[in-house]
Amino acid sequence: MIEVRKIDSKKDIKKFVQFQMDLYKDNEFFVPPIIKDELAVFDPEKNQVFKNAECWIFLAYQENKIVGRVAALINHIEINEQKKRKMRFGWLDMIDDIEVTKALLAEVEKLGKEQDLEFMEGPVGFSNMDKAGMLIKGYDELSTMITWYNHPYYKEHLEELGFEKAAEWVEFKFKPPNPIPDKINRFADIIAERYKLKTLQFSTTKEILPYVDEMFDLLNKTYSNLVTYVPIQQYQIDLYKEKYLPFINPDFIELVVDQQNKLIGFAITMPSFSKALQKANGKLFPFGFLHLLKAKKKNNEAAFYLIGIDPEYQGKGVTAMMFRNVTQNFMNYGVTKCETNPELEDNLAVQASWKNYDPILHKRRRTYKKSL
């Protein structure tokens, strides 16, 4: 007998977060989140997304033991302004029992119908800045701090329950060139001269702050034409400043500006924190933060996290300017392995950025949808 309970107490939300940790505790590819951060996601006093969103959280029990979890989400900006009547669901985890999956998603479906929505889709978060997509390729690849990990049976369960593909992301890994190829140097110089552009680099996090809002504005412009995109709100920008800036090495940020110092492109890369987060095992104290600090300062692996290019300059070679400097920084820090963040499979403009690096497509993730 499977019982699905709607929860809202802090005690139960801790159980909700802990379930994933327990389910994957012996999995070498799973990267644990910081538990404190996960709890804050579901706290309306700490997560301002609740200004424009609602959330219902469920735990599935079998013989008084937790066997699954899911969060049902509504983004009112998406529904009211973009006219996408979508019931979101995320944080979906369960044992390998399709009846558990069926019971959890039935609660999401019920809510969607009560809210008079047209379809449900997941796994996704509250917005585009949250984790999204169910892993469908790359189960034997180490996860990252901005993606979910899951077993192969998740995909099998959803497809057996009648869910269909909604969106799909691809991820690549590659070895940064060393030395920088002459053709990249020459091309970067040509583009800089042709469009009168220059790159900005930083030595401290404080120097980056004045550009953060402009970077997110550019991100909105870059991805506004993608079907799944929901514009980033100012309160989300403020949250991500607080959440991710401490992880960023200033040397790993590249900005491109025009003659008027207007931002027209940026790339944010970070040392990989996957192995450090595994060692921290969800906790910053007493020693978790030391693992993260070590990974920030000395690391042979890095990841591209955000790339934004003004639509007016897309396809004009601006990425060559950024990647030349990024590659030089990788050489300076001894980075020999790199991984991209998830990119929508139809976002060919961004994927073209890796063509000179002999990329290997090593992961795919997908959201699934079902009509209500």
Percent of the chain with pLDDT over 70: 98
Query: What digits encode the pLDDT tens for the residues 286-312?
Result: 999 999 989 988 899 999 888 888 888
pLDDT value at residue 320: 87
H helices, E strands: number in the chain: 12, 14
pLDDT value at residue 368: 98
pLDDT value at residue 292: 92
What tokens appear for 318 in the block? 């601006």
Asked whether residue 227 carries a pLDDT value surpassing 60, the answer given is: no
CB within 8 Å of 201: residues ≥ 6 apart: 250, 251, 253, 254, 255, 325
Q: How far apart are CA 222 and CA 127, in angstroms?
A: 16
By C-alpha distance, which of 309, 312, 313 is closest to 350?
309
2-169 has which fold?
Aminopeptidase (3.40.630)
Q: How far apart are CA 240 and CA 127, in angstroms?
A: 13
**Model confidence at 224, in pLDDT bands (50, 70, 90)?**
low
User: How distant, in Å, are the alpha carbons of 242, 270, 291, 335 from that of 245?
Assistant: 6, 10, 17, 20
pLDDT value at residue 215: 87
Asked whether residue 81 carries a pLDDT value surpassing 90, the answer given is: no
Within this chain, domains 2-169 and 176-335 share the same CATH topology = yes
> pTM for the whole thing?
0.91
Q: Cβ(70)–Cβ(56) under 8 Å?
A: no
Phi, psi of 320 (to 5 degrees): -60, -40
User: What's the mean pLDDT in 71-90?
Assistant: 93
Collapsed DSSP state (helix, strand, coil) of residue 207: helix
The winner for highest mean pLDDT among 28-37, 229-238, 259-268 is: 28-37
User: What's the mean pLDDT in 205-233?
Assistant: 77
Asked whether residue 231 carries a pLDDT value surpassing 80, the answer given is: no
Query: What digits encode the pLDDT tens for the residues 130-186?
Result: 899 999 999 999 999 999 999 999 999 999 999 999 999 999 999 998 888 888 899
pLDDT value at residue 229: 66
What tokens appear for 83 in the block? 């006219």
pLDDT value at residue 130: 87
CATH architecture of the domain 176-335 equals 3-Layer(aba) Sandwich (3.40)
Domain residue extents for the chain: 2-169, 176-335
Asked whether residue 319 carries a pLDDT value surpassing 90, the answer given is: no
Asked whether residue 124 carries a pLDDT value surpassing 60, the answer given is: yes
pLDDT value at residue 212: 85
Q: Cβ(343)–Cβ(229) under 8 Å?
A: no
